[in-house]
Structure 1
Amino acid sequence: MTKNRHFEIFLATSPGLEDMLCAEVKLKGFRQPKAVPGGVTLRGGWPEVWRANLWIRGASRVLARIGQFRAEYLNQLEVRAKEVSWGELLRTDVPFRVEVSCSTSRIYHSGAAAERIAKAITETLGVPRSETADIIVRARIENNFCTLSLDTSGDLLHRRGHKEAVNRAPMRETMASLFLRKCGYNGQEPVLDPMCGSGTFVIEAAEVAARLNPGRSRHFAFEHFATFDPEAWEQMRAVKSQRAPEFHFYGSDRDAGAITMSRANAERAGVTAYTTFNQATVSDILPPAGPPGLVILNAPYGTRIGDKKKLSALYRALGQRMLEHFKGWRVGIITTETSLAHATGLPFLPTGAPIPHGGLKVFLFQTDILK
């Protein structure tokens, strides 16, 4: 697997958001992306891997497919794993670990499978193995077919590297970016989050409008691969597409601590000039001056924060405020509770399938332009 060879690249996301991720990947200029269960596949080389980690907002991790073969027995798995050109991929001075998932296969013990793959790598290359290593070789054994991948991201990609403070039940940045896209947001309108928490939706919207690369503040696992070219990577990172947004982005929350967190996170992200955070209750919010845009929020729900019965009044107040004061705006609400969403009285469009989030299933309830 040489530096110039093309291979399959897999960008992971939450089930139900694959089409949104595929649309983003296509928009960013990657060739022939394809939505598949759990993510998006495309073909490319290591520059495409680096670019995907640096540019793509909605992916949770980027995997480089390095080997695919049939394996029904542990011995067969070890033999086939030894055929991979590990010396072209891993450095002998950087430890690794193996993580395996097994499904409907003769090889069913993930721990035993991981031991055999790790043995194949150490005997082939002499690279040290460590259970705490940052470099992860991932194997999926499904229907007696093994797919080997290198996790090129390291930390999950929602960890942008410039957000320190988070509130309770935060929305991951990767998921927030795809919900924004699902609501039709493309950086060409203002965004308001009336329950902003730590500011995720507002900051993501501002970054999209400012054309800031989501991975600009962090490091990635691929920087420790044998395939890594530091000079080429620095040239890629140095390309600036930043612009001053035409619109402003707003967050409010009844909790003063949330506003403090949001402002600090916006400053670290470099979008303070385009964002405004104010303490306010839902019943007090008003649309900012200027053109209408998108109201989006990760609303509290009974299984997440607070009691469901007590929340109905909050949702009703939100809906009333939207209907009375936000004509011309669109609204997107993320919640697990259909009954709470409908308590707003807002004219929602048909909802799609639920999206896994924090061990729960959430829905995006969105409106057309309010009239």
Structure 2
Amino acid sequence: MTYPSEFDIFLATTPGLEPVLCNEVRLKGFKQARIVPGGVTIKGGWPEVWRANLWIRGTSKILARVLSFPARHLSQLERRAQTFEWGKLLPADKPFRVEATCARSRIYHAGAASERIARAITASMGAPGAETAEITVKARIEDDICTISIDTSGELLHRRGSKEAVNRAPLRETLASLFLMQCGYTGAEPVFDPMCGSGTFIIEAAEIAARLNPGRARHFAFEQLVPFDKEAWEKMRAVKSARLPSCRFYGSDRDAGAIVMSEANAKRAGVDSYTAFACQPVSEISPPEGEAPGLVICNPPYGTRLGDKTQLAALYRAFGNTMKARFSGWRVAIITSESSLAHATALPFLPVTAPVPHGGLRISLYQTRPLP
């Protein structure tokens, strides 16, 4: 089986948010974007893989689907895998590992499938298998069809490379960006997070407004693969897309330590000149002077993980009262796993979309139109 010049590229995301990711992918100019369970697929080659890792905010991992074939037993799986031109993809001097999953197939033992594929790759081009290798080959055997992909990202893509300090129960950057996009945020309005924690929403909003690529400060697994062209990659990364935002981005928190974390994270991300953080409780916040109404968004404690629900209801009520009293014209969005807490705000929420998984919970985005 020959090595393909163009293949399916799978961009994984939080189940339930595939349409939001697909919209981002299309807006970034990728062709043939298609929603599939758990993510979005596009067609392309290695330059598209590099660009997707560098540009796309809402995806957690990007896989290059390089090979697909029928496999009904382990010997057939190994034989077909060995005929692929692995030497054009994997370096012979670097170890790799294989991760397999099986569903509704005659091959049902994922561990045995991984071993057979690893053996086939080593026999084909000599690279050694190792459980701790950074290069990862992923095999999905479903309905007797084996699809083999290369993990091109390495570490999950919410690890932008600029955040060192995080608070308890943080929201991942990829998920935060998807919620911002779901609220209609494009970077043209101020954003205020009154329970900012380590600053995730504010930093993501500022980066979107400044057109800073989310992958600009990190490395990727594809840099170790044979098709990698360092010169072309450096030219791609060097393209200047940044702009000065037309507004600023604001975070507050009653925890002084959270403000210190947020300021440090914003500085590392390079957005400290247009972000501002203040230590204050929800009951004392007010709209930033001189800013047009924009979006208030926060990820308050849920009760199932942090704090007591009875005490938290008072926090949610205080938040809702502050929004209604002082934030006329602003849209408001909160993320929570508890509908009772959301409704304790007494805010006029729009119909809620289906909850999505996060840290073992199911969370929902509650949002309003501009408040009267």
Query: Which TM-score band applies after superposition, normalised by the shorter structure?
Result: over 0.9
Which residue number corresponds to residue 319 of structure 1?
320
- Once the two structures are superposed, the pairs formed by residues 79-228 of structure 1 within 5 Å of their partners are 79-228=79-228
- One-letter amino acid of the structure 2 residue matched with residue 277 of structure 1: F
Runs of 5+ unmatched residues, structure 2: none
Measured against aligned partners, the alpha-carbon deviations of 1:282-318 in whole angstroms (never above 9, x if no partner) come to 1111111210000001111111211111110000000
TM-score relative to the length of structure 1: 0.99
Tell me by how many angstroms 1:127 deviates.
Answer: 0.1
Contact conserved, 1:2 with 1:88, CA < 8 A, in 2?
no
Runs of 5+ unmatched residues, structure 1: none
Moved over 2 A (4+): 1-4
**What is the alpha-carbon distance in structure 2 between the residues aligned to residue 341 and residue 322 of structure 1?**
13
Tell me by how many angstroms 1:80 deviates.
Answer: 1.3
Measured against aligned partners, the alpha-carbon deviations of 1:199-256 in whole angstroms (never above 9, x if no partner) come to 0000000000000000000000000000100000000001011011001000000000
Measured against aligned partners, the alpha-carbon deviations of 1:156-189 in whole angstroms (never above 9, x if no partner) come to 0000001100000001000100000000000000
Contact conserved, 1:66 with 1:84, CA < 8 A, in 2?
no
Matched residue SS, 1:64: strand
Which residue number corresponds to residue 350 of structure 1?
351
**What is the alpha-carbon distance in structure 1 between the residues aligned to residue 189 and residue 155 of structure 2?**
31
Measured against aligned partners, the alpha-carbon deviations of 1:325-349 in whole angstroms (never above 9, x if no partner) come to 0110001100000010000000000
**What is the alpha-carbon distance in structure 2 between the residues aligned to residue 242 and residue 2 of structure 1?**
40
What percentage of residue pairs aligned between the two structures are identical? 67
Matched residue SS, 1:5: coil
Matched residue SS, 1:130: coil
**What is the alpha-carbon distance in structure 2 between the residues aligned to residue 231 and residue 51 of structure 1?**
14
TM-score relative to the length of structure 2: 0.98
Which residue number corresponds to residue 12 of structure 1?
12
Measured against aligned partners, the alpha-carbon deviations of 1:41-64 in whole angstroms (never above 9, x if no partner) come to 010010000000000000001100
- One-letter amino acid of the structure 1 residue matched with residue 280 of structure 2: A
**What is the alpha-carbon distance in structure 1 between the residues aligned to residue 304 and residue 75 of structure 2?**
46
- Once the two structures are superposed, the pairs formed by residues 213-362 of structure 1 within 5 Å of their partners are 213-289=213-289, 290-362=291-363
Tell me by how many angstroms 1:83 deviates.
Answer: 2.2
**What is the alpha-carbon distance in structure 2 between the residues aligned to residue 133 and residue 4 of structure 1?**
24
Tell me by how many angstroms 1:5 deviates.
Answer: 1.3
- What is the Cα-based RMSD across aligned positions, in Å? 1.1
Contact conserved, 2:3 with 2:84, CA < 8 A, in 1?
no
Contact conserved, 1:21 with 1:178, CA < 8 A, in 2?
yes
- One-letter amino acid of the structure 2 residue matched with residue 184 of structure 1: G
Distance verdict in 2 for CA 1:265–1:179, change over 3 Å: same
**What is the alpha-carbon distance in structure 2 between the residues aligned to residue 304 and residue 49 of structure 1?**
37
- One-letter amino acid of the structure 1 residue matched with residue 322 of structure 2: R
Distance verdict in 2 for CA 1:4–1:216, change over 3 Å: farther
- One-letter amino acid of the structure 1 residue matched with residue 203 of structure 2: I
